[in-house]
Amino acid sequence: MLRLLILGTLLMIAQVSTPKCGETSTSPSAPDSPSPSGPNVLSISVNGGPTNDSLNQPFASVTICVPGTSNCQIIGGLLVDTGSVGVRILASAVTLPLPGQTGAGGAPIGECLAFIDGSVIWGPVVTADIRLGGEQASSAPIQLIGGDGFTSAPAGCSSQGELQLTQSDFGSNGVLGVGMFPQDCGLGCTFTGSSNPGGYYTCPTASTCQITAQPVARQVANPVSLFAADNNGVVLQLPAAQTGGQATMTGLLIFGIGTQSNNRLGAAKILTVDSRQNLTTTFNGQSYRRSFLDSGSNGIFFLDSTTTGLPGCRNSVGFYCPPTVRALSATHTGVNGASSTVAFNAGNVDQKNLAFSVFGEATGSQLGTFDWGLPFFYGRTVFMAIQGAATPGGTGPYWAY
Protein backbone atom coordinates (compact mmCIF):
# COMPACT_ATOMS: atom_id res chain seq x y z
CA MET A 1 0.00 0.00 0.00
CA LEU A 2 1.28 3.45 -0.88
CA ARG A 3 1.66 6.19 1.69
CA LEU A 4 -0.74 9.03 0.94
CA LEU A 5 1.13 12.30 1.43
CA ILE A 6 -0.53 15.70 1.20
CA LEU A 7 1.61 18.28 2.93
CA GLY A 8 0.95 22.01 3.15
CA THR A 9 0.97 23.75 6.50
CA LEU A 10 -2.15 25.16 8.14
CA LEU A 11 -0.39 27.97 10.02
CA MET A 12 0.73 30.30 7.26
CA ILE A 13 -0.37 33.94 7.44
CA ALA A 14 0.41 36.23 4.51
CA GLN A 15 -0.55 39.30 2.50
CA VAL A 16 -1.70 39.45 -1.09
CA SER A 17 0.66 41.03 -3.60
CA THR A 18 -0.63 43.75 -5.91
CA PRO A 19 -2.60 42.29 -8.84
CA LYS A 20 -1.40 42.84 -12.40
CA CYS A 21 -3.17 42.86 -15.74
CA GLY A 22 -4.57 39.48 -16.76
CA GLU A 23 -3.53 37.31 -19.67
CA THR A 24 -4.62 33.90 -20.91
CA SER A 25 -2.83 31.06 -22.64
CA THR A 26 -3.78 27.50 -23.58
CA SER A 27 -0.30 26.26 -22.68
CA PRO A 28 2.43 27.64 -20.43
CA SER A 29 5.39 29.31 -22.11
CA ALA A 30 8.71 27.58 -21.55
CA PRO A 31 11.05 29.62 -19.34
CA ASP A 32 14.79 29.78 -19.84
CA SER A 33 16.44 26.50 -18.81
CA PRO A 34 18.49 27.10 -15.65
CA SER A 35 22.11 25.99 -15.53
CA PRO A 36 22.68 22.67 -13.78
CA SER A 37 25.45 24.11 -11.60
CA GLY A 38 26.29 27.10 -9.45
CA PRO A 39 26.50 28.07 -5.77
CA ASN A 40 22.73 28.65 -5.72
CA VAL A 41 21.87 25.12 -6.89
CA LEU A 42 20.94 22.10 -4.78
CA SER A 43 20.48 18.66 -6.33
CA ILE A 44 17.26 16.83 -5.47
CA SER A 45 16.21 13.25 -6.11
CA VAL A 46 12.82 11.60 -6.44
CA ASN A 47 13.32 8.10 -5.08
CA GLY A 48 12.13 5.64 -2.46
CA GLY A 49 13.46 7.85 0.33
CA PRO A 50 14.94 6.67 3.63
CA THR A 51 12.21 4.06 4.08
CA ASN A 52 12.45 2.90 0.44
CA ASP A 53 8.67 3.01 -0.08
CA SER A 54 8.05 6.60 -1.20
CA LEU A 55 6.16 7.62 -4.33
CA ASN A 56 6.59 11.02 -5.99
CA GLN A 57 8.58 12.53 -3.14
CA PRO A 58 11.64 14.75 -3.77
CA PHE A 59 14.50 14.51 -1.29
CA ALA A 60 17.60 16.60 -0.64
CA SER A 61 20.53 16.74 1.76
CA VAL A 62 21.13 19.69 4.08
CA THR A 63 24.19 20.61 6.11
CA ILE A 64 23.49 21.96 9.59
CA CYS A 65 26.12 23.40 11.93
CA VAL A 66 26.38 24.63 15.48
CA PRO A 67 26.00 28.40 14.88
CA GLY A 68 29.24 30.16 14.06
CA THR A 69 31.34 26.98 14.09
CA SER A 70 32.63 24.29 11.74
CA ASN A 71 30.94 21.60 13.83
CA CYS A 72 28.56 20.39 11.14
CA GLN A 73 26.50 17.40 10.06
CA ILE A 74 24.97 16.42 6.73
CA ILE A 75 21.38 15.25 6.98
CA GLY A 76 20.02 13.42 3.94
CA GLY A 77 16.52 12.30 3.08
CA LEU A 78 14.71 15.59 3.76
CA LEU A 79 11.47 16.06 1.83
CA VAL A 80 11.58 19.18 -0.38
CA ASP A 81 8.25 20.87 0.29
CA THR A 82 6.96 24.05 -1.36
CA GLY A 83 3.81 23.81 0.77
CA SER A 84 5.43 24.48 4.14
CA VAL A 85 8.16 26.63 5.65
CA GLY A 86 11.24 25.71 7.64
CA VAL A 87 13.84 23.02 8.21
CA ARG A 88 12.47 20.21 10.41
CA ILE A 89 14.67 17.23 11.20
CA LEU A 90 14.09 14.08 13.23
CA ALA A 91 15.84 14.58 16.55
CA SER A 92 17.09 11.00 16.30
CA ALA A 93 19.09 11.94 13.18
CA VAL A 94 20.93 14.89 14.77
CA THR A 95 24.11 14.41 16.81
CA LEU A 96 25.10 18.08 17.13
CA PRO A 97 24.69 20.09 20.37
CA LEU A 98 22.40 22.69 18.82
CA PRO A 99 21.34 25.46 21.21
CA GLY A 100 17.65 25.33 22.06
CA GLN A 101 15.31 28.28 22.24
CA THR A 102 13.97 29.12 25.68
CA GLY A 103 11.08 31.22 26.96
CA ALA A 104 9.92 32.42 30.35
CA GLY A 105 11.99 31.02 33.19
CA GLY A 106 14.36 29.35 30.76
CA ALA A 107 11.76 26.76 29.69
CA PRO A 108 12.34 25.14 26.27
CA ILE A 109 10.24 26.31 23.31
CA GLY A 110 8.38 23.60 21.39
CA GLU A 111 6.39 23.82 18.19
CA CYS A 112 3.29 22.02 16.97
CA LEU A 113 2.78 22.01 13.20
CA ALA A 114 -0.31 20.51 11.57
CA PHE A 115 -0.51 19.60 7.88
CA ILE A 116 -3.63 19.34 5.74
CA ASP A 117 -3.20 15.57 5.39
CA GLY A 118 -4.07 15.23 9.09
CA SER A 119 -0.51 14.68 10.32
CA VAL A 120 1.06 16.69 13.15
CA ILE A 121 4.71 17.09 14.14
CA TRP A 122 5.96 18.20 17.52
CA GLY A 123 9.38 19.06 18.90
CA PRO A 124 11.74 21.72 20.23
CA VAL A 125 12.93 24.81 18.37
CA VAL A 126 16.72 25.06 18.13
CA THR A 127 19.20 27.28 16.28
CA ALA A 128 21.58 26.20 13.51
CA ASP A 129 23.53 27.47 10.55
CA ILE A 130 21.96 25.89 7.46
CA ARG A 131 23.98 25.27 4.29
CA LEU A 132 22.16 24.52 1.04
CA GLY A 133 24.43 24.22 -1.98
CA GLY A 134 26.76 27.22 -1.68
CA GLU A 135 24.26 29.31 0.31
CA GLN A 136 24.01 29.72 4.07
CA ALA A 137 21.26 30.80 6.47
CA SER A 138 23.06 31.78 9.67
CA SER A 139 21.61 31.24 13.15
CA ALA A 140 18.29 30.04 11.73
CA PRO A 141 15.50 28.69 13.96
CA ILE A 142 14.73 25.08 12.98
CA GLN A 143 12.61 22.35 14.54
CA LEU A 144 13.73 18.98 15.82
CA ILE A 145 10.94 16.40 15.52
CA GLY A 146 10.49 14.49 18.76
CA GLY A 147 13.52 13.96 20.95
CA ASP A 148 14.21 14.10 24.69
CA GLY A 149 11.33 15.68 26.56
CA PHE A 150 9.22 15.93 23.38
CA THR A 151 8.13 12.35 22.80
CA SER A 152 4.50 13.21 23.47
CA ALA A 153 2.64 16.37 22.52
CA PRO A 154 0.28 18.49 24.64
CA ALA A 155 -3.41 17.81 24.12
CA GLY A 156 -3.93 21.01 22.16
CA CYS A 157 -1.40 19.74 19.62
CA SER A 158 -2.13 16.02 19.44
CA SER A 159 -5.85 16.69 19.02
CA GLN A 160 -5.15 18.30 15.63
CA GLY A 161 -4.21 15.04 13.93
CA GLU A 162 -2.02 11.96 13.91
CA LEU A 163 1.32 12.61 15.58
CA GLN A 164 4.35 11.84 13.38
CA LEU A 165 7.61 11.51 15.32
CA THR A 166 9.66 8.76 13.63
CA GLN A 167 11.17 7.99 10.26
CA SER A 168 8.65 5.22 9.65
CA ASP A 169 5.82 7.65 10.48
CA PHE A 170 7.12 10.35 8.20
CA GLY A 171 8.79 8.41 5.40
CA SER A 172 11.73 10.83 5.56
CA ASN A 173 14.29 12.30 7.94
CA GLY A 174 12.37 15.56 8.01
CA VAL A 175 11.27 18.43 5.79
CA LEU A 176 13.04 21.18 3.88
CA GLY A 177 10.17 23.67 3.70
CA VAL A 178 10.81 26.33 1.07
CA GLY A 179 7.27 27.70 0.77
CA MET A 180 6.07 31.20 -0.02
CA PHE A 181 6.50 32.83 3.37
CA PRO A 182 9.55 33.93 5.39
CA GLN A 183 8.30 32.32 8.63
CA ASP A 184 6.01 29.42 9.34
CA CYS A 185 3.34 31.36 11.23
CA GLY A 186 3.80 35.13 11.00
CA LEU A 187 2.00 37.75 13.06
CA GLY A 188 -0.67 35.38 14.37
CA CYS A 189 1.81 33.59 16.63
CA THR A 190 3.07 36.86 18.12
CA PHE A 191 -0.27 37.47 19.86
CA THR A 192 -1.37 36.28 23.27
CA GLY A 193 -4.77 34.85 24.12
CA SER A 194 -7.36 33.21 21.89
CA SER A 195 -6.14 34.92 18.70
CA ASN A 196 -2.92 32.87 18.81
CA PRO A 197 -3.30 29.75 16.58
CA GLY A 198 -1.29 27.63 19.01
CA GLY A 199 1.87 26.90 17.08
CA TYR A 200 4.46 27.54 19.81
CA TYR A 201 4.62 26.35 23.43
CA THR A 202 6.77 26.94 26.48
CA CYS A 203 7.50 23.64 28.24
CA PRO A 204 8.77 23.86 31.85
CA THR A 205 8.18 20.11 31.91
CA ALA A 206 6.90 17.66 29.30
CA SER A 207 3.46 17.65 30.91
CA THR A 208 3.09 21.40 31.51
CA CYS A 209 3.49 22.89 28.01
CA GLN A 210 1.48 26.06 27.43
CA ILE A 211 0.79 28.04 24.24
CA THR A 212 3.06 31.07 24.04
CA ALA A 213 3.54 34.14 21.87
CA GLN A 214 6.55 33.74 19.58
CA PRO A 215 8.23 36.80 18.00
CA VAL A 216 8.55 36.60 14.21
CA ALA A 217 12.35 36.61 14.37
CA ARG A 218 12.30 33.49 16.60
CA GLN A 219 9.85 31.50 14.48
CA VAL A 220 11.03 28.57 12.36
CA ALA A 221 12.13 30.30 9.17
CA ASN A 222 12.29 29.67 5.47
CA PRO A 223 16.07 29.24 5.10
CA VAL A 224 16.02 30.84 1.63
CA SER A 225 14.71 34.12 3.05
CA LEU A 226 17.77 34.25 5.36
CA PHE A 227 20.39 33.91 2.61
CA ALA A 228 22.64 36.93 2.00
CA ALA A 229 21.74 36.72 -1.72
CA ASP A 230 19.44 34.66 -3.96
CA ASN A 231 16.83 35.04 -1.22
CA ASN A 232 13.65 36.13 -3.06
CA GLY A 233 12.35 32.71 -4.08
CA VAL A 234 13.17 29.29 -5.48
CA VAL A 235 13.02 27.45 -8.78
CA LEU A 236 12.11 23.77 -8.89
CA GLN A 237 13.17 22.02 -12.08
CA LEU A 238 12.40 18.37 -12.86
CA PRO A 239 12.49 16.42 -16.13
CA ALA A 240 9.37 14.86 -17.64
CA ALA A 241 8.31 11.54 -16.12
CA GLN A 242 8.22 8.42 -18.23
CA THR A 243 4.67 7.24 -18.91
CA GLY A 244 3.84 4.37 -16.58
CA GLY A 245 6.57 5.20 -14.07
CA GLN A 246 10.31 5.10 -13.57
CA ALA A 247 12.64 4.11 -10.75
CA THR A 248 14.19 7.46 -9.86
CA MET A 249 14.60 11.02 -11.08
CA THR A 250 17.14 13.79 -10.46
CA GLY A 251 16.28 17.49 -10.54
CA LEU A 252 17.34 20.87 -9.21
CA LEU A 253 16.30 23.31 -6.52
CA ILE A 254 17.66 26.68 -7.58
CA PHE A 255 17.70 29.64 -5.19
CA GLY A 256 16.69 33.14 -6.22
CA ILE A 257 14.62 34.55 -9.07
CA GLY A 258 16.37 36.83 -11.54
CA THR A 259 19.45 37.03 -9.34
CA GLN A 260 21.73 34.81 -11.45
CA SER A 261 21.97 33.71 -15.05
CA ASN A 262 20.52 30.33 -14.06
CA ASN A 263 17.26 31.59 -12.49
CA ARG A 264 15.85 34.11 -14.97
CA LEU A 265 12.10 34.11 -15.47
CA GLY A 266 12.33 34.29 -19.25
CA ALA A 267 8.86 33.80 -20.73
CA ALA A 268 7.39 32.12 -17.63
CA LYS A 269 3.83 33.22 -16.90
CA ILE A 270 3.26 34.77 -13.47
CA LEU A 271 0.19 33.79 -11.44
CA THR A 272 -0.22 35.63 -8.14
CA VAL A 273 -1.89 34.00 -5.15
CA ASP A 274 -4.19 35.03 -2.33
CA SER A 275 -3.30 35.39 1.35
CA ARG A 276 -3.39 31.61 1.84
CA GLN A 277 -1.11 30.79 -1.10
CA ASN A 278 -4.06 29.76 -3.29
CA LEU A 279 -4.78 30.32 -6.95
CA THR A 280 -7.98 29.15 -8.67
CA THR A 281 -8.32 25.89 -10.60
CA THR A 282 -11.23 25.37 -12.98
CA PHE A 283 -11.90 21.71 -13.69
CA ASN A 284 -14.89 19.91 -15.13
CA GLY A 285 -16.94 23.12 -15.06
CA GLN A 286 -16.24 23.86 -11.39
CA SER A 287 -13.92 26.46 -9.84
CA TYR A 288 -11.73 25.57 -6.85
CA ARG A 289 -10.42 28.64 -5.08
CA ARG A 290 -8.50 26.51 -2.59
CA SER A 291 -5.95 25.40 -5.16
CA PHE A 292 -2.20 25.28 -4.69
CA LEU A 293 1.06 23.85 -6.04
CA ASP A 294 2.76 21.59 -3.50
CA SER A 295 5.88 19.53 -4.14
CA GLY A 296 5.27 17.80 -0.80
CA SER A 297 2.11 16.11 -2.07
CA ASN A 298 2.72 12.86 -3.95
CA GLY A 299 -0.20 13.14 -6.37
CA ILE A 300 -2.68 15.54 -7.93
CA PHE A 301 -5.64 15.50 -5.55
CA PHE A 302 -9.12 16.78 -6.41
CA LEU A 303 -12.83 16.04 -6.12
CA ASP A 304 -13.88 12.45 -5.43
CA SER A 305 -14.58 9.37 -7.53
CA THR A 306 -18.36 9.82 -7.62
CA THR A 307 -18.03 13.32 -9.07
CA THR A 308 -15.33 12.65 -11.66
CA GLY A 309 -16.21 9.11 -12.67
CA LEU A 310 -12.71 7.96 -11.66
CA PRO A 311 -12.87 4.82 -9.50
CA GLY A 312 -10.90 4.71 -6.28
CA CYS A 313 -8.06 2.24 -5.83
CA ARG A 314 -8.53 -1.05 -4.02
CA ASN A 315 -5.09 -1.06 -2.39
CA SER A 316 -3.73 2.49 -2.68
CA VAL A 317 -6.15 4.32 -0.40
CA GLY A 318 -6.79 7.93 -1.41
CA PHE A 319 -5.76 7.48 -5.04
CA TYR A 320 -7.80 6.96 -8.21
CA CYS A 321 -7.36 3.79 -10.29
CA PRO A 322 -9.03 4.05 -13.70
CA PRO A 323 -8.53 0.87 -15.78
CA THR A 324 -6.77 2.90 -18.50
CA VAL A 325 -4.99 6.24 -18.42
CA ARG A 326 -7.43 9.15 -18.53
CA ALA A 327 -6.33 12.43 -20.15
CA LEU A 328 -7.62 15.43 -18.18
CA SER A 329 -7.32 19.20 -18.37
CA ALA A 330 -7.77 22.13 -15.97
CA THR A 331 -7.06 25.86 -15.94
CA HIS A 332 -5.02 27.80 -13.41
CA THR A 333 -5.99 31.44 -12.81
CA GLY A 334 -4.00 33.78 -10.60
CA VAL A 335 -5.32 36.63 -8.49
CA ASN A 336 -3.81 38.88 -11.18
CA GLY A 337 -6.12 37.32 -13.82
CA ALA A 338 -3.34 35.48 -15.65
CA SER A 339 -4.34 31.94 -16.60
CA SER A 340 -2.87 28.79 -18.08
CA THR A 341 -4.39 25.48 -19.17
CA VAL A 342 -2.73 22.40 -17.72
CA ALA A 343 -2.98 18.90 -19.23
CA PHE A 344 -2.51 16.00 -16.82
CA ASN A 345 -3.33 12.30 -16.58
CA ALA A 346 -5.02 9.95 -14.15
CA GLY A 347 -3.52 6.47 -14.03
CA ASN A 348 -3.99 3.24 -12.12
CA VAL A 349 -1.80 3.56 -9.05
CA ASP A 350 -2.49 -0.03 -7.96
CA GLN A 351 -1.05 -1.36 -11.22
CA LYS A 352 2.18 0.61 -11.07
CA ASN A 353 5.41 -1.35 -10.72
CA LEU A 354 6.30 -1.19 -7.03
CA ALA A 355 9.93 -0.66 -8.02
CA PHE A 356 8.93 2.76 -9.37
CA SER A 357 9.23 5.89 -7.25
CA VAL A 358 8.17 8.27 -10.04
CA PHE A 359 4.62 8.06 -11.39
CA GLY A 360 3.33 11.09 -13.28
CA GLU A 361 -0.22 9.73 -13.58
CA ALA A 362 -0.82 9.58 -9.80
CA THR A 363 -4.10 11.32 -8.93
CA GLY A 364 -6.32 11.06 -5.90
CA SER A 365 -9.30 12.30 -3.95
CA GLN A 366 -9.33 15.48 -1.88
CA LEU A 367 -12.66 17.15 -1.29
CA GLY A 368 -12.88 20.93 -1.38
CA THR A 369 -9.39 21.63 -2.68
CA PHE A 370 -7.30 21.08 -5.78
CA ASP A 371 -3.81 20.07 -4.74
CA TRP A 372 -1.25 20.07 -7.56
CA GLY A 373 1.40 17.77 -6.12
CA LEU A 374 4.72 16.63 -7.54
CA PRO A 375 3.35 15.16 -10.82
CA PHE A 376 2.51 18.74 -11.84
CA PHE A 377 6.20 19.68 -11.52
CA TYR A 378 7.46 16.92 -13.84
CA GLY A 379 8.72 18.38 -17.10
CA ARG A 380 8.47 21.97 -15.87
CA THR A 381 10.62 24.75 -14.48
CA VAL A 382 8.48 26.26 -11.73
CA PHE A 383 9.28 29.55 -9.98
CA MET A 384 7.97 30.45 -6.52
CA ALA A 385 8.45 33.99 -5.17
CA ILE A 386 8.51 34.57 -1.41
CA GLN A 387 6.03 36.96 0.18
CA GLY A 388 7.23 40.56 0.19
CA ALA A 389 10.37 39.79 -1.85
CA ALA A 390 11.19 41.94 -4.88
CA THR A 391 11.77 40.03 -8.13
CA PRO A 392 11.96 40.97 -11.83
CA GLY A 393 8.38 39.66 -12.09
CA GLY A 394 7.05 41.82 -9.27
CA THR A 395 6.72 41.40 -5.51
CA GLY A 396 5.99 37.92 -4.18
CA PRO A 397 4.12 35.77 -3.48
CA TYR A 398 3.48 34.22 -6.87
CA TRP A 399 3.98 31.11 -8.96
CA ALA A 400 5.40 31.22 -12.48
CA TYR A 401 5.97 28.50 -15.07
**Does residue 221 form part of some domain?**
yes
Q: What is the pLDDT of residues 123-165, one digit of tens each?
A: 999 999 999 999 999 999 999 999 888 989 999 999 999 999 9
d(CA 103, CA 183): 19
Nearest 5°: the CA angle 293, 298, 300 is: 55
pLDDT at position 40:
97
pLDDT at position 248:
97
**Does residue 381 form part of some domain?**
no
**Does residue 84 form part of some domain?**
yes
pLDDT at position 21:
33
Residues facing residue 247 across a β-bridge:
none
**Does residue 52 form part of some domain?**
yes
Q: What is the pLDDT of residues 215-224, one digit of tens each?
A: 999 999 999 9
**Does residue 13 form part of some domain?**
no
DSSP 17: P
Higher pLDDT, 26 or 354: 354
In percent, the amount of the chain with pLDDT more than 90 equals 79
Q: Is the pTM of the predicted complex or chain greater than 0.75?
A: yes
**Mean pLDDT across the chain:** 90
- DSSP letters, 109-142, are EEEEEEBTTSEEEEEEEEEEEEEETTEEEEEEEE
**Does residue 138 form part of some domain?**
yes
pLDDT at position 36:
60
d(CA 112, CA 160): 9
Furthest CA-CA distance within the chain: 62
pLDDT for 232 beyond 60:
yes
Q: What is the pLDDT of residues 339-377, one digit of tens each?
A: 999 999 999 999 887 779 999 999 999 888 999 999 999
| Domain count within the chain | 1
d(CA 331, CA 174): 33
**Does residue 90 form part of some domain?**
yes
pLDDT for 84 beyond 90:
yes
Higher pLDDT, 1 or 84: 84
pLDDT at position 33:
46
Range of the domain at 42: 37-226
- Average the pLDDT over 183-187 and give the result: 94
d(CA 295, CA 376): 8
Q: Could you tell me if 176 and 81 are in contact, meaning their C-beta atoms sit under 8 angstroms apart?
A: yes
**Does residue 268 form part of some domain?**
no
User: Domain with 141 in it: what CATH number?
Assistant: 2.40.70.10
Nearest 5°: the CA angle 113, 114, 117 is: 145
Closest to 5 in 3D by CA, of 119, 108, 165, 152: 119
Q: What is the pLDDT of residues 31-63, one digit of tens each?
A: 344 446 899 999 999 999 999 999 999 999 999
